[in-house]
Structure 1
Amino acid sequence: MLRLHRVEPSAALWSDRAGYPDRLIFHTPEWISFVAQCQGAEPVLATVTDGDTPAGHFTGLITKKYGLRILGSPMAGWTTSYVGFNLDPAVPRRAALEALLPFAFNELGCAHLEIRDRFLAESELGGLGLVWDTAPTAVIDLTPSEDELFGAMASACRRNIRKAAKSGVVIEEVHGDPAFADEFYDQLRDVFAKQNLVPTYSVERVRSLIRHLEPAGRILQLRARDPEHRSIATAILPWYHRTMYFWGGASYREHQHLRPNEALIWHALRWARERGVTEFDFVGGNAYKAKYGTTEVPVPWARRSRSPLVARLRDAAKQGFALKQRAAARLTGVSRPATPDSAARAG
């Protein structure tokens, strides 16, 4: 029978966790520190044991809402895709999930739990009192040759990549540039403004992400420049072990005819492949991503509350956030036409 035991972080612990084949960047100390800082959350690290035999690890963070302790692995809004478990391949993930429930609600005293584990299937969730949303992501297998990757894209996408090159768009890799976060965020505003919204996080989150990941060499920052050397698009792509992630991208609308977004992604795919990365994860299944030759992978987002009241409070908080975001958009006037200096677009 599996059990979870909370442990304190240590160099030996992080080293052991890094040896599991299912490790992701979201399990690393740099990422956990990033989330803890931005969310004011308390990291929770636990070992999974089968009797006296080590079987894996669990990663999460505790935050508070309405005075209640909530365990997220992760929570929505953390700009973190999957967390969950690192397990020995022989250990069933459902058994680990079953052991997580008493750990979360009894040992940690939490009133609500959310988990999105990259390798947990919907078929493993039944009978545990969980509810879940189907939340697929779009991925690209990077093991084929560069020519095969390019050929798998939609013809219009290939044309756009060629057009960017012919138009003189240059992609540069950014290192140690303190202005990059603000540059990205300025472009991001209009991504939301197009829908009369404002970004769901502040520029400080972008700065924090870069500050935590760049020293460890776990983030690729890209900038697209036009023939006049103006920055017209940006992308932020964390990577670790076998996977690169599309955390965010934006571009100025007045330069869309140069097709910088496709050029950024194509550069990232080749960069990752050259470094032995075998998967590119778009972190979500939006329709526009299919043009890059993606495959959809289901990754359910499961949750359980101690009581129906807590579940209703969670849903109310989610709805309230959406209303607050739209109200903020009206107050900041993002529904007005954007100026050439501030207009941006993602994807």
Structure 2
Amino acid sequence: MLRLHRVEPAAALWAERATYPDRLIFHTPEWLNFVAECQRAEPLLATVTDSGQVVGHFTGLLSRRFGMRILGSPMAGWTTSYPGFTLRPEISRRAALQALMPFAFHDAGAAHLEIRDRGLTAADLGGLGLRWEPAPTAVIDLNPDEDTLLGAMASACRRNIRKAEKSGVVIEQTSTDLTFADDFYDQLRDVFAKQNLVPTYSVERVRSLIRHLGPAGRLLLLRARDGDGRCIATAVLPWYHRTMYFWGGASYREHQHLRPNEALIWHAMRWAREHGVTEFDFVGGNSYKQKYGTTEVAVPWARRSRSPIVAHLRDAAKHGFALRQRTVARFSAGAPRSTVS
């Protein structure tokens, strides 16, 4: 029978966790420190044992909502994907999830648990008292050569990549430049304004991501500049082990006819291949991503609460956030948007 045991972060622990083939950037200390800082949460690490032998690890964060302890791996709104488990290949993920329940609600004292694990399937969730919803992601296998990758894209996407190049769009890359956050966020505001919304997080979250991941060499930041040198689009791309992630992208509407977004993604894919990355994960399954030749991967988002009241509070908070986002957008609609000089 599998059991979970809470452990404290230590150099030896991080080194052991980094030996698992299913490790992701969301299991690293840099990423956990980023989320903890932005969410005022406490990282919670646990070993998964079988007859006393360590066979895996669990990654989560504890926070407080409505005066209750919440264990998220992750929670909605944290801008992080599927921390969940790292397990030896022979270990059942369903069994690990089953062992997580008593650990979360008794050992960790949580009133609510949410988990999104890249290796879990809908079949793993039955009979465990979990509510869940599909949260698929779109991925690209980067193992084929560049010609094959281009050939898998929609013809319009390939034309847009060529158009960006002919229009003089140039891609500039960095990893630790904190001024990048201002460029990205200003464009993000323009993206949300198109839908009469405001961004779901502040510019400080972008700065925090850069501060924590940039120095560790786990972040690619891309700017697309037009022929006059203006920054017209940006992309934020954490990467680690075998996967690069599309954490965020934004562009000014007035410059989208130059097709900088497709140029950014294509540059990121080629850069990732050159650095030994074998998968590009769009972190979501929106239909517009299909033009890049993606494959959809199912990643269920599961949750369980101690009582129906806690579950109701969670759902009410989610709906309340969406309402506040629209309300703020309406009140700020008349304010002038900043522009890139």
TM-score band w.r.t. shorter chain: over 0.9
C-alpha distance in 2 between matches for 1:177 and 1:110: 38
Give the corresponding residue for 1:341. Answer: 339
> Are 2:268 and 1:247 aligned?
no
CA separation of 1:110 and 1:64: change in aligned 2, threshold 3 A? same
| Secondary structure of 1:83's aligned partner | coil
CA distance in 2, matches of 1:48, 1:265: 37
- Following the alignment from structure 1 to structure 2, what is the Cα–Cα distance between the partners of residues 333 and 252? 17
The answer for unaligned runs of 5 or more in structure 2 is: none
For residues 261-317 of structure 1, the C-alpha deviation after alignment (integer angstroms, 9 at most, x for no partner) is: 000000000000111101000000000000000000000000000011110010000
Provide Cα deviations, 1:131-155, integer angstroms capped at 9, x if missing partner.
Answer: 1000110000000011000110000
1:8-47 → structure 2 map (5 Å cutoff): 8-47=8-47
1:79-128 superposed Cα distances (whole Å, 9 cap, x missing partner): 00111001010000000000000000011111100000001111000000
What is the aligned residue count? 340
CA distance in 2, matches of 1:32, 1:224: 29
Q: What is the deviation of 1:341?
A: 2.2
2:184 match? 184
TM-score (norm 1): 0.96
Matched residue, 2:226:
226
Q: What residue in structure 2 maps to residue 89 of structure 1?
A: 89
Matched position secondary structure for 1:256: helix
Q: Is 1:327 aligned to residue 327 of structure 2?
A: yes
TM-score between both structures, scaled by the size of structure 2: 0.98
RMSD: 1.1
Structure 1 residues 216-269: Cα deviation after superposition (integer angstroms, max 9, x where no partner): 000000000101011111000000000000000111111111100000000000
Supply the distance in 2 between the matched residues of 1:55 and 1:231 (Cα, whole angstroms): 47
Deviations 1:19-70 (CA, angstroms, capped at 9, x unpaired): 0000000000000000000000011000000011111100000111110111
In 1, are the aligned partners of 2:175 and 2:217 still within 8 Å (CA)? no
- 1:217 maps to what in 2? 217
Aligned-pair distance for 1:178?
2.4
3-state SS of the aligned residue for 1:285? coil
Once the two structures are TM-superposed, the CA of residue 177 in structure 1 deviates from its matched residue by 2.2
Return structure 1 stretches of 4+ with deviation > 4 angstroms. Answer: none
Deviation at 1:340, TM superposition (A): 8.2
Q: In the alignment, what sits opposite 1:345?
A: none
2 CA distance for matches of 1:141 and 1:207?
30
SS at the partner of 2:215? Answer: helix
CA distance in 1 between counterparts of 2:176 and 2:303 reads: 39
Matched with 2:237 is 237
> How far apart, CA to CA, are the structure 1 residues paired with 2:165 and 2:70?
48
The 5 A counterparts of 1:146-295 are 146-295=146-295
The gaps in structure 1 that reach 5 residues or longer are 343-347
Shift of 1:339: 5.6
